[in-house]
A and B are shown apart, each in its own frame.
Chain A
């Protein structure tokens, strides 16, 4: 490649990058997407929930053509104890047009489709190309270096959308190295099951889908979350544990996952299924305090690369797509002004601030740190809830009053009343 100049180089063909590329290409900009894999999605992983609102804001009625799996109509949270589980859940009421709020997707398939939308809009997608550095002139980013021969590419702006370990964001000095308490190590397995089995086990119809999030024993009582999502003919089963916690527990992520799959509450859901794929991925979970510079002269950072994940609501795909869209809009404005300075591109940060993205992350800014310092949330409390449920629901000759006192006594042995009140208020203060 000789010196080729684009309006914008997007690094990474994922949700943020392909959304950004589509929006810019539609506005007539000359855009190139650099993707490591042999197609967009080849190396992309997430739990699997894609939200309607954000996706359709760029890809109207996408569900009619895109390879989505199942609509998410049934959502629940399972608090796993050693051998039992307490669950809360909801069966969602569909919107007036009958479409759900979210779908499960498999990223290798969905992102391939999204890549097609971006290239149909006019973006050039270059595969099997790894970005190794940024090219700077007079302190301004003017392009990227790739591992291809003569692989330097130039543009007015680079959007870093190459995920949690973004190379250009780091090389440009916008993203410091992650700390172990800012990342979750997640593994996931695709387990094939016949359609009817999935629908029976999760009590859903042929057009329904379920998501289950699991805490407590599910992540060996360490800070993290596990999940089971239904696809058409498979289920996605995975778990993520904060890296610092995983290392403290001296555990392998696959052992954490296998242990959960063998829990009495989970075993019947996965039984008899055939393992079709195993994958690993880091999730940026530092929240608001982990977001560093998202813009500089000639450069913007979107999606996971910028740390835009709301782990308390298992949201990430929507933040990626919307931040990609906002980055694209900031670039379109900058092209109109002919100004790619840091100041001009700072309108991206303003867009993020005005949106739910920064507002939501700010709301939970201190909750994660609070919980990781208090292991009760993932250890003692899940066990306590399960103890209370077992006692409360157990029917025998013990009078209810005695039973309730016994629950209280057992709970107080696990954590003092003072401690419980402090934890509850502390968490509520940071969450509400």
Chain B
């Protein structure tokens, strides 16, 4: 089962106004991280990060709030916070 289908099983309250995940300096992804294989595009359990042509897109409303990206980005180039109170995931089972 692919991630997109699995993400449908998770209860979310999306924050339409504010992303809790931000790429700090897109130039680092473009110029430096190519040789590292842009790890955020594969290590993220929810595949929040995808490389599109010349930049990383951040599908923050798919985030499972594990914070892997905080430690996983080789350049510490992701500002990774928790969603604001009341937003984000709510597990039924956990």
Q: Which A positions have Cβ atoms within 8 angstroms of B?
A: 36-38, 41-46, 106-109, 111, 127-130, 146-148, 164-165, 167, 177-180, 183, 185, 187, 189-190, 234, 243, 246-247, 250-254, 258, 275-282
Contacts and interface: CB of A to CB of B under 8 A. Distances in A.
B: interface residue count bin: 35 or more
Given A43-B91, A247-B72, A147 B84 contact: yes
A400 B92 CA distance: 54
A277 B46 CA distance: 13
User: Main secondary structure on chain B at its contact with chain A?
Assistant: loop
Contacts of A109: 93-94
Interface string B20-37: 000000000000000001
A187 B68 CA distance: 11
B66 A189 contact: no
A361 B72 CA distance: 25
15 contacts: A43-B91, A43-B94, A108-B90, A108-B94, A109-B94, A165-B70, A167-B82, A183-B68, A247-B72, A252-B43, A275-B1, A278-B3, A278-B7, A281-B66, A282-B67
Given A44-B91, A185-B68, A275 B82 contact: no
Q: Which are the 10 A-B pairs with shortest beta-carbon distances?
A: A108-B94, A280-B45, A107-B94, A278-B6, A128-B85, A128-B86, A280-B66, A280-B64, A108-B91, A106-B93
Nearest to B9: A277
B51 interface: no
A127 B10 CA distance: 20
A130 B82 contact: yes
A282 B80 CA distance: 14
A180 B9 contact: no
Contacts of B91: 41-45, 107-108, 277, 279
Contact of B43 (A130, A164, A189, A243): A243
A277 B71 contact: no
A243 B10 contact: no
Contacts of B39: 247, 250
B85 A43 contact: no
Contact of A148 (B46, B68, B82, B85): B85
A129 B6 contact: no
Contact of B68 (A130, A254, A282): A282
A253 B47 CA distance: 10
Interface in B38-70: 39, 42-47, 64-68, 70
A54 to B, nearest CB: 19
Contacts of A180: 71-72
Given A43-B88, A276-B9, A278-B6, A234 B71 contact: no
A151 to B, nearest CB: 9
B78 interface: no
Given A130-B84, A252-B47, A276-B92, 7 more contacts: A38-B90, A107-B93, A109-B93, A128-B85, A128-B86, A252-B3, A278-B64
Contact of A279 (B44, B85, B94): B94
Contact of A247 (B9, B10, B43, B45): B43
A375 to B, nearest CB: 19
Nearest to A254: B3
B93 A234 contact: yes
Contacts of A148: 85
A246 B85 contact: no
A82 B71 CA distance: 31
A106 B85 CA distance: 23
A315 to B, nearest CB: 18
B82 A36 contact: yes
A278 B93 CA distance: 9
A291 to B, nearest CB: 17
Contact of B45 (A38, A185, A234): A185
Contacts of A187: 45
A243 B39 CA distance: 11
A246 B43 contact: yes
Contacts of A281: 66
B77 to A, nearest CB: 14
A95 B10 CA distance: 38
Given A108-B94, A251-B42, A147 B88 contact: no
A243 B67 CA distance: 12
A45 B94 contact: yes
Nearest to B47: A252
A250 B86 CA distance: 34
Contact of A36 (B7, B68, B85): B85
